[in-house]
Amino acid sequence: MLVPEKMAKYSVEKIDDACMRMMYDRQGYNMASSKVRTSSFSRKVQVAPTSSVPGLKYGPNGTIFLSSGIPDLDKILGGGFHLGSLVMVMEDTEAPHHMLLLRTFMSQGLVHNQPVLYASPSKNPRAFLGTLPATLVSKDDKSLKSDAEQKDLRIAWQYKKYLGENKPPIEERDGKVEYCNDFDLRKPIEKHLIAGNRVECVGLLDCSSLAGIRDSCTKFLSQLPRFDGNITSAGRIAIQSFCAPQCEYYDKEWDMLSFIRSIKSMVRSSNAVAFITFPASLVSPSVSKRLQHLADTLLAVKAIPDEDKELATLLTGYQDMLGLLSIHKVARFNTQVPVILDATTYSMKLQKRRSLVLECLNQAPVDGSSGSSYGTSGGCSSSSNTGTLDF
Partner 1 sequence: MNRPTTLLDDALSFDDGESNSRRPQNGRVVLVEDCVETSGAFVLHHLIKRFLSPNVSSSDSIVLFVAFAQPFSHYDRILRKMGCNLAAQRENKRLLFFDMLMLECPDDDVEGGLIALFGNIQKAVEVNSSNKNITIVIDDISLLEVATNGSTKDVLNFMRYCHTLTTQFGCTIIIVLHEDIYSSGDGFTFPLQLEYLADIIIKTEPLITGLAADVHGQLTVLNKGTLDGFRSSKGKIHNFHYKIKENSVDYFYPGSRS
Q: How far is the CB of 281 from partner 1 (least distance, A)?
A: 13
For the chain, the first-to-last Cα distance in angstroms comes to 33
Q: How far is the CB of 40 from partner 1 (least distance, A)?
A: 5
Q: Which stretch binds partner 1 (CB under 8 A): 44-52, 149-157, 192-200, 255-263?
A: 255-263
Q: Per-residue DSSP letters for 338-372?
A: PP--S-SEEEEEEETTTEEEEEE--BPPPTT--S-
Q: For partner 1, which is the closer residue by CB, 4 or 168?
A: 4
Q: How far is the CB of 311 from partner 1 (least distance, A)?
A: 20
DSSP 130: G
CB contact set of 243 (below 8 Å; sequence gap of 6+): 250, 256, 278, 279, 282, 283, 287
Residues 267-286 interacting with partner 1 (rule: CB under 8 A): 268-269, 284-286
Q: What mask, x for binding partner 1 by CB under 8 A, covers residues 52 to 71?
A: ---------xx---------
386 interacts with partner 1 by CB under 8 A: no
Q: Which stretch binds partner 1 (CB under 8 A): 127-135, 153-161, 331-339, 354-362?
A: 331-339
Q: Collapse the DSSP code of 331 into the 3-class scheme (helix H, G, I; strand E, B; otherwise coil) and give the result.
A: coil
Give the C-alpha distances (Å, rounded to integers) separating 33 from 37, 53, 63, 109, 357. 5, 31, 22, 39, 46
38 interacts with partner 1 by CB under 8 A: no
Q: How far is the CB of 124 from partner 1 (least distance, A)?
A: 32
Q: How far is the CB of 65 from partner 1 (least distance, A)?
A: 17
254 interacts with partner 1 by CB under 8 A: yes
Q: In the set 8, 9, 21, 371, which binds partner 1 (CB under 8 A)? A: 21
Q: How far is the CB of 271 from partner 1 (least distance, A)?
A: 14
Q: Which stretch binds partner 1 (CB under 8 A): 2-10, 74-82, 144-152, 235-243?
A: 2-10
CB 224 within 8 A of CB 115: yes
Q: Which stretch binds partner 1 (CB under 8 A): 6-14, 72-80, 164-172, 356-364?
A: 6-14
34 interacts with partner 1 by CB under 8 A: no
d(CA 366, CA 314): 8
DSSP 156: -
d(CA 97, CA 185): 13
Specify which residues 90 forms β-bridges with: 278, 300
